[in-house]
Amino acid sequence: MASLMGQMMQMPLMISSLIVHAARHSADTEIVSKRVEGDIHRTDWKHTELRARKLAQALARLGCTAGDRVATLAWNGYRHLEIYYAVSGSELVCHTINPRLFPEQIAWIANDAADKVLCFDLTFLPLVEKLAPSLPSIKHYVLMTDWAHMPQQSTIANLRCYEDLVDNENGEYAWPEFDENTASSICYTSGTTGNPKGAVYSHRSTLLHAYAAALPDSLDCSAKDVILPVVPMFHVNAWSLPYAVPLVGAKLVMPGPHLDGKSLYELFEGEKVTFSAGVPTVWLGLINYVQQNKLRFTSLKRTVIGGSACPPAMMRTLEDEFGVEVIHAWGMTEMSPLGTLAKLKTKHAELDAAAKHSILEKQGRVVYGVDMLILDDNDKPLPWDGKAAGNLVVRGPWIIENYYKGETSPLVTVNGQQWFPTGDVATIDPDGYMQITDRSKDVIKSGGEWISSIELENIAMAHPAVHEAAVIACRHPMCDERPLLVVVKKPSADVTAQELLAFFEGRIAKWQIPDDVAFVSELPHTATGKIQKLKLREQFKEHRLPTA
């Protein structure tokens, strides 16, 4: 017998529907941006949708047609948000470029994506002027500012003014409907190794991901919230917040380039922010500022921290000292990015604080839509016993099948299904809580046993004299590799290598304690703030461990 087909409407999942929804149902809900120009700008969802329509008209007038890439070099702000919707909504592809990359890498990425238009904040005018000769595909340069702030002259011929483009249109534009699998945006991975690779998201993947992101056990977004993404819009679409916030109709606050502790704190307090999101490094600066000035957070209830492992000491400070709930999350550019978040289950309610903490410090459980496995070196699934550590693979409708222009599929086949290898090594406990124990490209294998560099770094970070710490594998004649702790001390802090190593006693198995400590003035970081372990290993290639 033939299947009975469902009789529901066929409506493609379109990114434009999010802003239309917000404009209709949360019309006067505010969008507040700290501008590059230094002032605070206020608008709302209704005007943002109107201006996005005008910008879509302007892009069409510039000659953009379906599939063309429109790139951005921009901070979090209302114009960047308008570009997100105007570009994807009109069947173009929004390519958010990370301005913190090295200039040569930016040019490489823009050329790889064959960007046609580049929209950029005032901050980046000198950079774009320098890069323009090496960007042959870009036909239009749009400076994201008004006439008053346009430069008198520029080496960029025919530099356009964003506000001028928007003002010249009437907004009589109907968002088109097209195949929901059409590309909506591209984000390149941070490039810890080799050339960056592009992840190409679709309207469908973005909408499904936004639904999942807004759920209570995910980011828990509500119309009652005031949400400030510190995570940049060029870092995996600010972890979906530019989509999840209009989906629920919350107030959105954006910090522009002002990411220091003082500016962020003033914006949090001034706009009564309830929820935020960012990488651990951002919180280091904010916590320092708040502690030094003996301040409190009066509205902030919770924050999601991810992108790299959140040090437990940071979680404790935010929760115990400031009453801010920390949601530890794990994901990747290739995963749109959400994969797992650490939230408790009902059955954990009776646990004591220490037991709760040990669950919440993990990377967490998958959101519905993501499936995961851990595999041994022969791609055989390992048990979820919280002990066996293996290569973490994932699948789901917002996880890439291939990279942009990818010639060979990155996927692995397990039990007839295709999975994306994350390059992370993890355990999964019987309740489904995943814990990253290391990265397969950055793992310490001592005498055939895994040592978690993350665990060692977390311990080191809890030492009061340590500002930042990284653990790398160092060659060892007996064990193959042994851990070396590389430390940046806090200004004016004084600590010896012996004292630091003694700090590990009783906190970890004896054989896992680093063999040596190297003090440095700073650690090398990628453009997204992750420690560049490969570079660090290169730096310490000749380091001789005292045990060797």
Q: Please list the active-site residues.
A: 189, 334, 445, 450
By CB under 6 A, is residue 237 in contact with ligand AMP?
no
CA 127, 132, 136: angle at the middle one, nearest 5? 150
Of 89 and 306, CB closest to ligand AMP: 306
Task: CB nearer to ligand AMP: give 265 or 275.
Answer: 275
Among 26, 57, 76, 333, binds ligand AMP (CB under 6 A): 333
Which of 102, 109, 127 shows the shortest CA–CA distance to 69?
Answer: 109
The stretch among 121-129, 417-425, 466-474, 491-499 that binds ligand AMP (CB under 6 A) is 417-425
Longest CA–CA separation in the chain, Å: 78
Measured from the CB atom, is 26 or 452 closer to ligand AMP? 452
Omega cis (within 30) before 337: yes
CA dihedral angle for residue 157, residue 158, residue 164, residue 168, rounded to 10 degrees: -170
Using the minimum distance from each CB to ligand AMP, give the nearer residue, 308 or 391.
308
- Residue 517 CA to residue 458 CA, distance in Å, equals 15
Tokens of 470: 């990284």
To ligand AMP, the closest distance from the beta carbon of 256 in angstroms equals 22
Segment 279 to 308, residues that bind ligand AMP, using CB under 6 A:
306-308
Distance of CA 22 to the CA centre of its chain: 24
Based on the shown chain and the rule CB under 6 A, indicate whether residue 436 belongs to the binding site for ligand AMP: yes
Which of 257, 261, 337, 514 is in the footprint of ligand AMP by CB under 6 A? 337
309 part of the interface to ligand AMP, by CB under 6 A: yes
Smallest Cα–Cα separation from 364: which of 388, 382, 390, 338? 338
Q: Does 332 contact ligand AMP by CB under 6 A? A: yes
139 by Cβ neighbours in 10 Å (0-12 / 13-18 / 19+) ranks as: middle
CB of 317 to ligand AMP, least distance (A): 17
* x/- track of binding to ligand AMP for residues 139-178 (CB under 6 A): ----------------------------------------
The CB-of-290 to ligand AMP minimum distance in angstroms stands at 22
The answer to whether the CB of 436 falls within 8 A of the CB of 364 is no
The Cβ of residue 376 has, within 10 Å, a number of other Cβ atoms equal to 12
For residue 318, the 8-state DSSP code is I
Residue placing its CB nearer to ligand AMP in the complex, 192 or 202:
192
List the one residue from 26, 76, 189, 240 that touches ligand AMP (CB under 6 A). 189
**Edge-to-edge strand order for the sheet containing 140-143?**
160-161, 140-143, 117-120, 69-73, 93-96, 183-188, 198-202
Instruction: Specify the stretch interacting with ligand AMP by CB under 6 A; choose among 62-70, 328-336, 393-401, 497-505.
Output: 328-336
Binding mask 510-529 for ligand AMP (x = CB under 6 A): ------------------x-
Q: By CB under 6 A, is residue 422 in contact with ligand AMP?
A: yes
Whole-angstrom distance, CA of residue 157 vs CA of residue 169: 23
Binding segment for ligand AMP (CB under 6 A), chosen from 119-127, 219-227, 258-266, 327-335, is: 327-335
Q: How far is the CB of 339 from ligand AMP (least distance, A)?
A: 8
Task: Residue 293: count other Cβ atoms within 10 Å of its Cβ.
Answer: 10
Residues 526-545 that bind ligand AMP (CB under 6 A): 528
Least distance between ligand AMP and beta carbon 493 (Å): 26
With CB atoms as reference, the residue minimizing the distance to ligand AMP is 333
Tell me how far, at minimum, the Cβ of 492 lies from ligand AMP, in Å. Answer: 30
Q: Are 369 and 341 a contacting pair, CB within 8 Å?
A: no
Q: Which residues of 398-434 are buried (b: 16+ CB within 10 A; e: fewer)?
A: bbbebbbeeeeebbeeeeeeebbbbbbbbbbeeeebb
Interface with ligand AMP includes 363 (CB under 6 A)? yes
Q: What DSSP element (H or E) covers 31? A: strand 30-34
One of 190, 202, 240, 512 touching ligand AMP (CB under 6 A) = 190
Residues that bind ligand AMP (CB under 6 A): 189-190, 236, 306-309, 328-333, 337, 363, 422-424, 436, 439, 528
